[in-house]
């Protein structure tokens, strides 16, 4: 009986040692990932004068994207490529109703659509916290939307006023660089944490001057000016992965 027990224990220990050896000979790496971040945007001096809002000329928004390894599941790669999309709101204006005109709501927004290249630590497969550097290039759309500021009663009873009165858009080139880090989750189906800082240079665009929109008997007027759209953004969020394995 004792001999059978000792043999069973020895078999369990051997199986465990063999399993550990196999794990040590396997490299686990991510080859596809996504991220979803909240962000605060700090405009450069010229752009700050154009923003001119009541919260320190700051913008808030969301950023998201996905990245993939050019080698796919074949082997780990320090280089990732992908797409990055950003929405930033720089404030809302409201104009009260009068006897001739409805109340108005004016929002100032930026949409950015970028290709992204990421360079990360070469030994990222063996680390929980991975630093990286990002480079981005794409297009930036500055949008000012003027709409009737309907309340809940107006929406329920579907008043005749058109909801959106005007969309003023201008586009420009957008490019930048930044750095940050992300963490690998403890479990393969978990999510990690990510943080990055980006400085984005922007072309000169034409924008609607804040507090210049007026509606008079159905005629909408506004003033416009030009400024570049360079800004610093700080982003915090989550990231998820698809993992592959490489046997040494």
Structure token digits, residue 10: 């020895």
Structure token digits, residue 64: 């998201």
Look at residues 27, 55, 61, 21 and name the one whose alpha carbon lies nearest to residue 41: 61
The Cα 179–Cα 135 span in angstroms is 9
CB of 37 closer than 8 Å to CB of 194? yes
- Which residue ranges form the domains of the chain, and what is each CATH number? 29-247 (2.40.160.20)
The Cα 82–Cα 67 span in angstroms is 4
pLDDT at 23: 43
Burial group, residue 53, by CB count within 10 angstroms (0-12, 13-18, 19+): middle
pLDDT at 10: 43
Local confidence band at 162 (pLDDT 50, 70, 90 cut-offs): low
- How far, in Å, are 103, 106, 148, 152, 162 from residue 159 at the CA level? 13, 19, 11, 11, 8
The pair phi, psi for residue 23, each rounded to 5°, is: -65, -40
Dihedral (C-alpha) 40, 44, 50, 53: value to the nearest 10 degrees?
40
Instruction: Using the predicted structure, report yes or no on whether residue 7 has a pLDDT greater than 50.
Output: no
Local confidence band at 175 (pLDDT 50, 70, 90 cut-offs): very high
DSSP, res 247: E
Give the global pTM: 0.80
- What is the SS3 assignment for 126? helix
The Cα 46–Cα 71 span in angstroms is 42
What value, to the nearest 5°, has the Cα angle with vertex 84 and ends 79 and 89? 150
Dihedral (C-alpha) 191, 198, 45, 88: value to the nearest 10 degrees?
-40
59-104 tens-digit pLDDT: 999 999 999 999 888 888 899 999 999 999 998 988 888 878 888 8
Instruction: Using the predicted structure, report yes or no on whether residue 245 has a pLDDT greater than 70.
Output: no
């Amino acid at each position: 009986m004792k001999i059978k027990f000792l043999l069973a224990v020895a078999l369990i220990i051997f199986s465990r040692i063999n399993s550990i050896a196999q794990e040590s000979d396997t490299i686990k790496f991510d080859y596809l990932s996504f991220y979803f971040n909240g962000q605060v945007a700090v405009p450069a001096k010229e752009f700050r004068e154009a923003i001119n809002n009541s919260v320190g000329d700051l913008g808030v928004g969301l950023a998201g994207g996905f990245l993939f390894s050019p080698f796919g599941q074949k082997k780990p790669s320090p280089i990732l490529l992908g797409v990055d999309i950003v929405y930033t709101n720089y404030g809302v204006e409201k104009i009260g109703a009068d006897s001739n005109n409805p109340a108005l709501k004016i929002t100032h927004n930026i949409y950015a659509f970028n290709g992204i290249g990421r360079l990360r630590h070469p030994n990222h497969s063996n680390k929980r916290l991975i630093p990286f550097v990002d480079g981005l290039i794409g297009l930036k759309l500055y949008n000012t939307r003027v709409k009737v500021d309907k309340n809940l009663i107006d929406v329920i009873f579907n008043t005749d006023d058109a909801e959106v009165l005007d969309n003023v858009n201008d586009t420009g080139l957008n490019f930048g660089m930044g750095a940050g880090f992300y963490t690998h989750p403890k479990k393969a189906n978990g999510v990690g944490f990510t943080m990055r800082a980006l400085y984005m240079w922007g072309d000169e665009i034409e924008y609607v001057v804040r507090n210049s929109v007026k509606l008079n008997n159905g005629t909408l007027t506004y003033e416009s000016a030009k400024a570049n759209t360079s800004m610093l953004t700080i982003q915090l969020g989550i990231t998820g992965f698809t993992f592959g394995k490489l046997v040494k």
